[in-house]
Amino acid sequence: DQQVKQNSPSLSVQEGRISILNCDYTNSMFDYFLWYKKYPAEGPTFLISISSIKDKNEDGRFTVFLNKSAKHLSLHIVPSQPGDSAVYFCAASEDTDKLIFGTGTRLQVFP
Amino acid sequence: EAEVAQSPRYKITEKSQAVAFWCDPISGHATLYWYRQILGQGPELLVQFQDESVVDDSQLPKDRFSAERLKGVDSTLKIQPAELGDSAMYLCASSHRSGRRVEQFFGPGTRLTVL
């Protein structure tokens, strides 16, 4: 059973606009969440994270929002740039460093 | 910039054959992870090492998969015999220590195709 779900396999956004990537989880014991970005032919790279004691974490153009009651988190990219085109993975962990990944969302930012 | 190295980048084999993948983590990183990513899915942890010791191999199919990190540096993941369902991307990651707030750095992966 998929504990971390990314229900949108793809997203297309115009350059300069906001990109919103969504992630849902089922395990209420998860208390740390991460987003990874993956370019073709490269491994995933860490983007941003959030602890369950927070509901928002911001790093430059990237902001992650966490709604614990809904078991939902989202990644906002503002403004979106063509270089942001990649696959984005949501991941979660419980009380260990084992990461449970979602299936990924392919973001395409067009001019 | 230090990177996780993996080889080969691509491997095509026939079912029933043995295959091996190699990973060289970032220098000084004590923790090493092997993940498998099946097409259309996210990476799934197969095995985690802390130095030369296995910390978690609960998702490793031990009847055909084996992993070692003899000197606590580089690591080898082996599949014998390979099956069609093993076709996937095998990713290696490392971190300077274990812990869930410690960033994991991923290598480029080895794409395995089993015919």
pLDDT at A79: 98
Provide the chain A residues 49-78 that lie in CB contact (below 8 A) with chain B.
Answer: 49
Per-residue pLDDT of chain B (115 residues; tens, 9 = 90+): 689 999 999 999 999 999 999 999 999 999 999 999 998 899 999 999 999 999 999 999 999 999 999 888 999 999 999 999 999 999 999 998 776 677 899 999 999 999 9
pLDDT digits (tens, 9 = 90+) for A69-82: 999 999 999 999 99
B34: nearest CA partner in chain A: A98
A46: nearest CA partner in chain B: B103
Q: Which amino acid would we find at residue B46?
A: L
pLDDT digits (tens, 9 = 90+) for A38-63: 998 899 999 999 999 999 999 999 99
- Calpha distance A12→B65 (Å, rounded): 39
Instruction: Give alpha helix (H) positions in chain B.
Output: none
Query: Smallest Cβ distance to A43: which of B42, B44, B108?
Result: B108
Instruction: Name the β-bridge partners of A13.
Output: A109
A23 touches chain B (CB under 8 A): no
- Calpha distance B36→B90 (Å, rounded): 5
Instruction: Name the β-bridge partners of B106.
Output: B93
